[in-house]
Amino acid sequence: MTETGEKMYNLAAELFPIQRSLTGEGVRETLNILRRELPGLQIKSVPSGTKCFDWTVPKEWNIRDAYIKAPDGSILCDFKKHNLHVVGYSVPVDAEISLEELQEHLYSMPELPGAIPYITSYYKERWGFCIKDSERKKLKPGMYHVKIDSSLTDGVLNYGELLIKGKNDREILVSTYICHPSMANNEVSGPAVSVYTAKSVLENADRNYSYRFVFIPETLGSIVYLSMHYKEMKEKTAAGFILTCIGDDRVYSMLASRDGDTMADAAARHVLKNIDRNYKEYSFLERGSDERQYCSPGIDLPVVNIMRSKYNEYPEYHSSLDDMSVISPQGLSGGLNAVLKCIEAVEKDCRPRITVLCEPQLGKRGLYPTLCSKDSGLRVRNMMNFIAYSDGKRSLIEIAEKIGTPVWELYGYIDSLTDAGLMELD
Amino acid sequence: MTETGEKMYNLAAELFPIQRSLTGEGVRETLNILRRELPGLQIKSVPSGTKCFDWTVPKEWNIRDAYIKAPDGSILCDFKKHNLHVVGYSVPVDAEISLEELQEHLYSMPELPGAIPYITSYYKERWGFCIKDSERKKLKPGMYHVKIDSSLTDGVLNYGELLIKGKNDREILVSTYICHPSMANNEVSGPAVSVYTAKSVLENADRNYSYRFVFIPETLGSIVYLSMHYKEMKEKTAAGFILTCIGDDRVYSMLASRDGDTMADAAARHVLKNIDRNYKEYSFLERGSDERQYCSPGIDLPVVNIMRSKYNEYPEYHSSLDDMSVISPQGLSGGLNAVLKCIEAVEKDCRPRITVLCEPQLGKRGLYPTLCSKDSGLRVRNMMNFIAYSDGKRSLIEIAEKIGTPVWELYGYIDSLTDAGLMELD
Amino acid sequence: MTETGEKMYNLAAELFPIQRSLTGEGVRETLNILRRELPGLQIKSVPSGTKCFDWTVPKEWNIRDAYIKAPDGSILCDFKKHNLHVVGYSVPVDAEISLEELQEHLYSMPELPGAIPYITSYYKERWGFCIKDSERKKLKPGMYHVKIDSSLTDGVLNYGELLIKGKNDREILVSTYICHPSMANNEVSGPAVSVYTAKSVLENADRNYSYRFVFIPETLGSIVYLSMHYKEMKEKTAAGFILTCIGDDRVYSMLASRDGDTMADAAARHVLKNIDRNYKEYSFLERGSDERQYCSPGIDLPVVNIMRSKYNEYPEYHSSLDDMSVISPQGLSGGLNAVLKCIEAVEKDCRPRITVLCEPQLGKRGLYPTLCSKDSGLRVRNMMNFIAYSDGKRSLIEIAEKIGTPVWELYGYIDSLTDAGLMELD
């Protein structure tokens, strides 16, 4: 896992500096790197102006340069030094303006004076610069030259899609987003872990489920994608996992689906609890990523978020402080492990049923100690509990919850018991 | 509201001194005053001897005078000074008796030595006087003249009924009682708030529901009323509210229906919790008013009590201390506000359903901030949560509970969203 | 009850020293004593080799003598002094062996150095001795003569069955085990209380239910019994109670059925809680007696354990310390009382329904105080609550739970109310 952690970290680091937004060159550059890792990845384009449910795909935004020249000639908010300096989707500007006028176009975080905030204005034409509050405070009166060399033109919205066939048509969805410029936990951790999740799925020739990996711009991307695919996804999706903020090493967390009672909820809740008793479960009321669309009324997909430190809940969130020091190979590895265990829990879920009446005689099959003493009951307690609750009515995860053991400890028992002809799986 | 509070207090004060009991002139005098306030009020009479389920309407009781003349010629327990001095339904008496014999007919409260208790004996012929324990202790041996100038004769039991038509036949019931002599919170607060509830309903030409206001003697009155109306009430009643002890300013409380799961329970629980986090909910096991009949097996109406300080739970209860100083214009106003909010919650309840798939684009309709920053999600959180749970399956109150906001904050969102064509109400 | 307690204690004392195991003479001797107490008891025999579900009845084990002769000629582990000294189902042995080799056949409890442990090896041929750890530590090197004069031969497995007919075919099962040598709480308490439970049932000519008492070797006995009777038991059994560890005086406890929601669970939970607020309820995960079979998937009988100190939970368990000083007449009496109250709760369970609408007028029937005062509501509160919840939907136990009173306090109300024509029982 450590080696994979390093690989994920390196991929994240490669993606980090790219200028991403809802649309534009940076999204395509990102998707090309992901396709290098996952050759089956399809890169799709949806033209500006396309209607998707209540929304319309906006113009494509590209930016080449941006800066502010101060009265003393110094350069501030240099886009080439940090792409967070420009408000996302800023219209072009090239003008001399007073400090007073400039202030109306500046965004900073007084509570984090050393951070450049992340700000966008997708749906109203604006321009603006994001600046450290400590620098903003030093600005002196005078005339400033503001320059944003950007363009808003008819173009496309891009996303990536990787479909992997399994033994049956039921699908597991893995969704992550590719629309934020240089941020680590709240951007590049998601694609990095998604790529290695897909690699792991591809290595498992025995998979029962089919898989749908999507790499989309957040919010509008899921709306666009759902507008084209929601009917088949409603039919096929067994469980879905949004991977976001999944690279730091502070906590494990999940965000439940709207009703909190889907297969994805059960799997994520069980896995995270058994990985880390202190994991946090957030309710759908605290949502903020693409579950807003996947779980909306009428879409109703069984989708949860799997995260380390949740968006909006860690101090570096949506600022330049969310850099590559926030995430780590260990953090990404932990996230990947949680995702793979969730997927495995869905893959292996079944309703086991013991085939003999009364307890089976495990002793004659070498599955039970032959000497009955005060402790022997305890030693095989887990397997006996598993048998006792394998009544054909409970799912494997429900049994694991009931008997208080991680579901992955039951996989071996299933093999032993089915081999011995004592168990059938419905 | 303050002005209405004063009006309710004045009406309560006018009703306070009247000699009320299960039957008799005082009940009619009370009903006549209520009819002056609510001209549509029907005053009904049910003759003594009428069979009502397991009960029979008793003789009508009237009383003109009552007192005890002490050996020293002084007058005690003068009915004309306080009508609580006589045990309700006392038979006439005019006799000289010893102190010893008198004691068997006296009732006092050692734990509240300055209070005259409230005692009745509707169903067994008796006579008695209620006296402050402090005065009782001073009684000296000797012969006492006891005089009760009362009559028990064939007559009628009276009650008032006000039916108000709405757009549909489903009804909201408001019930209160008019059978206690001079007590404030546990008597006149109920009719005062009921009258102003009815006035408010009459002013709302848009009401969806029909309304049934009843002013009845407690217990027997509801039995009599139900024996004549329960079939249509079972068909029509959507929610019912008993208004009792609703005039003081110490607490808000409700008492749940037998199973605690009706529309009336949901509305009252939600409204009171959002008016006052410290409201008290009493279970049906602590019942004591007409819910005993409305919620009895086979009647099963969706009825709860809405109260300030519950009967039996405040020190002045059922004694002369429950006087006009216990209630206040503010207390009555608070009670009226709670009742009207409950009624509004029933009137406006629906199952809202969002009409577009995925989140609607509120920005283009001016319902969402156009600049996306760290805080903007929080600012419109309530409306977005409302939309997220408007799945056509949940009632408005359920959504309000789920998203943790008073239901009345959602009424405006409904208007905005239905106006924008984004919401339909089932 | 005290007298019965003494009788149960004496019967337990008589059974205590007998050499019992899964099979053999001691089991028959035990059953003969039980038949003396319960003349209707049928003693059954199932031949070695009989297939029962996944199991086979083993050979019959009998033992006449066993001991170890130390190098100095002293006798250790003398079976005639304590039958726990021999591992149950030990094969015969007669040999000189070194201390080193002997150690592999010795069992002791370092944590309880003065106790002889209870060890069996039913399903693998072995021989062994159980010894106090304090004595084991004193053993000196040298040659030891080990002698076990036992036999494993084709024979039978025995059990006892007592069927008692009631007014209907629905059955109450009482099951206990008879397979441990000299242990008190975890063996002879069960048959003693079962016998006096049966005597009490036989004395009650009015019983509605039929009864099935079984006295079986634990685990294999219930498997054998179920393999022959489970179909009719699934049809007929309303509730079943396993009596085990029911003779000490430290605590009351129960162990729930697999899903914890049967009539037996409801009755035991209610009865024990109302006997002792500090009773313990164990989940099915902590099972260890014949509920393992009765509640296994596909058998699914409504069976719970009723116990004082649960097996595995008291220090003397499965050792020679579990002697007659652990149990007492009071302990057994308390256990019997709990069992009889559970049986009575099943016998009397019904869905009471009040036959009049609104509250009945109890006053005219002498069931209600005629003078209405502040306290009178409280005095008849229990009966009024019972009436209020007698809606024909709730069982008697559910009502008792709801109104917070022991179910046995309701039996008298049922009589009064049905006599008055106010209640019917469904």
pLDDT at C301 over 90: yes
Residue C229, chain A, CB below 8 Å: the answer is no
Q: Decide the pairing of beta strands B237-243 and B303-307.
A: parallel
Residue A205, chain C, CB below 8 Å: the answer is no
Rounded Cα distance between A66 and A80, Å, is: 7
Distance from the Cα of C259 to chain A's closest Cα (Å) equals: 9
Task: Inspect the interface and report whether the beta carbons of A372 and C298 lie closer than 8 Å.
Answer: no
For residue range C188-244, what is the model confidence (pLDDT) as tens digits?
Answer: 999 999 999 999 999 998 999 999 999 999 999 999 999 999 999 999 999 999 999
pLDDT at A303 over 90: yes
Rounded Cα distance between B290 and C1, Å, is: 46
Residues 6+ apart with CB under 8 A from A266: A395, A397, A398
What per-residue confidence (pLDDT) applies to C381?
A: 86
Rounded Cα distance between A326 and C372, Å, is: 74
Q: What is the mean pLDDT of residues B344-356?
A: 97
Q: First vs last Cα of chain A: how many Å apart? A: 33
What per-residue confidence (pLDDT) applies to A57?
A: 97
Q: Is the Cβ–Cβ distance between C283 and A404 less than 8 Å?
A: no
Alpha-carbon distances of C7 from B141, C2, C11, C306, rounded to whole Å: 64, 9, 6, 20
Domains of chain B: 2-46+156-348 (3.40.630.10), 60-153 (3.50.30.90), 352-425 (1.10.10)
Amino acid at C53: F
Q: Is the Cβ–Cβ distance between C61 and C24 less than 8 Å?
A: yes
DSSP string, C293-339: HHTSTTT---EEEEESSPTTSSTTTTBTTSSTTT--HHHHHHHHHHH
Q: First vs last Cα of chain B: how many Å apart? A: 33
What per-residue confidence (pLDDT) applies to A254?
A: 98
Residue from A33, A28, A62 nearest A45 by CA: A28
Query: What distance separates the 2 farthest-apart alpha carbons in chain B?
Result: 92
Task: Inspect the interface and report whether the beta carbons of A358 and C53 lie closer than 8 Å.
Answer: yes
Residue A372, chain C, CB below 8 Å: the answer is yes
Number of A/C CB contacts below 8 angstroms equals 82
Rounded Cα distance between C327 and C334, Å, is: 11
Residue A121, chain B, CB below 8 Å: the answer is yes
DSSP state letter for B316: T
C142: left (phi over 0), alpha (psi -120 to 50) or beta: left
Residues 6+ apart with CB under 8 A from C121: A370, A371, A372, C87, C88, C89, C90, C128
Which residue is it, tokens 């939600």? B270
Alpha-carbon distances of A322 from A20, A27, A119, A282, A327, rounded to whole Å: 15, 19, 14, 21, 9
| Helices and strands (H and E) in chain B: how many | 13, 18
Rounded Cα distance between A101 and A80, Å, is: 24
pLDDT at A8 over 70: yes
Residue B377: band (very low, low, confident or very high) from pLDDT cuts 50, 70, 90: low
For residue range C35-77, what is the model confidence (pLDDT) as tens digits?
Answer: 999 999 999 999 999 999 999 999 999 999 999 999 999 999 9
pLDDT at A371 over 80: no
Residue B363: band (very low, low, confident or very high) from pLDDT cuts 50, 70, 90: confident
Residue B370: band (very low, low, confident or very high) from pLDDT cuts 50, 70, 90: low
Interface TM-score (ipTM) > 0.90: yes
Q: How far is CA C326 from the centre of its chain?
A: 16
Which residue is it, tokens 């076990």? C148
Q: What is the mean pLDDT of residues B32-42?
A: 98
pLDDT at B246 over 80: yes
Of A375 and C424, the structure prediction assigns the larger pLDDT to C424
Rounded Cα distance between A136 and B41, Å, is: 72
Amino acid at B191: P
Which percentage of chain B shows pLDDT scores above 90?
A: 93
For residue range B305-314, what is the model confidence (pLDDT) as tens digits?
Answer: 999 999 999 9
Number of neighbours of residue B368 by Cβ within 10 angstroms = 18
Q: Which residue of B has its CA nearest to C362?
A: B54
Q: What value does the mean pLDDT of chain B take?
A: 95
Amino acid at B280: K
Range from B400-404, C311-315, C367-371 carrying the lowest mean pLDDT: C367-371
Rounded Cα distance between C306 and C279, Å, is: 11
pLDDT at B375 over 60: no
Instruction: Tell me the residue length of chain A.
Output: 426
What per-residue confidence (pLDDT) applies to A372?
A: 57
- Structural tokens at position B196: 């102003």
Residue C273, chain B, CB below 8 Å: the answer is no
In a 3-state reduction of DSSP, which class is residue A30? helix
For residue range B132-144, what is the model confidence (pLDDT) as tens digits?
Answer: 999 999 999 999 9
For residue range C72-114, what is the model confidence (pLDDT) as tens digits?
Answer: 999 999 999 999 999 999 999 999 999 999 999 999 999 999 9
Q: Which residues pair with B126 in a beta bridge?
A: B90
Residue A375: band (very low, low, confident or very high) from pLDDT cuts 50, 70, 90: low
**For residue A373, which residues of chain C lie inside 8 Å, CB to CB?**
107, 117, 119, 318
pLDDT at A351 over 90: yes
Distance from the Cα of A140 to chain B's closest Cα (Å) equals: 26
Number of neighbours of residue B108 by Cβ within 10 angstroms = 20
In a 3-state reduction of DSSP, which class is residue A392? coil
Residue from A142, A129, A146 nearest A71 by CA: A142
Q: What are the start-end ranges of the H helices in B64-152?
A: 99-103, 133-136
**For residue C364, which residues of chain B lie inside 8 Å, CB to CB?**
123
What per-residue confidence (pLDDT) applies to B381?
A: 86
Rounded Cα distance between A292 and A175, Å, is: 13
Task: Inspect the interface and report whether the beta carbons of A293 and B373 lie closer than 8 Å.
Answer: no
Q: Is the Cβ–Cβ distance between A114 and B367 less than 8 Å?
A: no
**For residue C372, which residues of chain B lie inside 8 Å, CB to CB?**
119-122
Q: Which residues pair with B65 in a beta bridge?
A: B149
- Structural tokens at position C33: 């004593």
Distance from the Cα of B266 to chain A's closest Cα (Å) equals: 20
Residue C375: band (very low, low, confident or very high) from pLDDT cuts 50, 70, 90: low
Alpha-carbon distances of B349 from B154, B346, B408, rounded to whole Å: 47, 5, 11
Tell me which residues of chain C, numbers 54 to 113, contact chain A at a CB-CB cutoff of 8 Å: 54-55, 107, 109
pTM for this structure? 0.93
What per-residue confidence (pLDDT) applies to A370?
A: 64
Which percentage of chain C shows pLDDT scores above 70?
A: 97
pLDDT at A404 over 70: yes
Q: What value does the mean pLDDT of chain C take?
A: 95
pLDDT at C374 over 70: no
Q: Which residue of B has its CA nearest to A221?
A: B358
pLDDT at B405 over 60: yes
DSSP state letter for B372: B
Residue C370: band (very low, low, confident or very high) from pLDDT cuts 50, 70, 90: low
Residue C138: band (very low, low, confident or very high) from pLDDT cuts 50, 70, 90: very high
In a 3-state reduction of DSSP, which class is residue A180? coil
Rounded Cα distance between B123 and B54, Å, is: 13
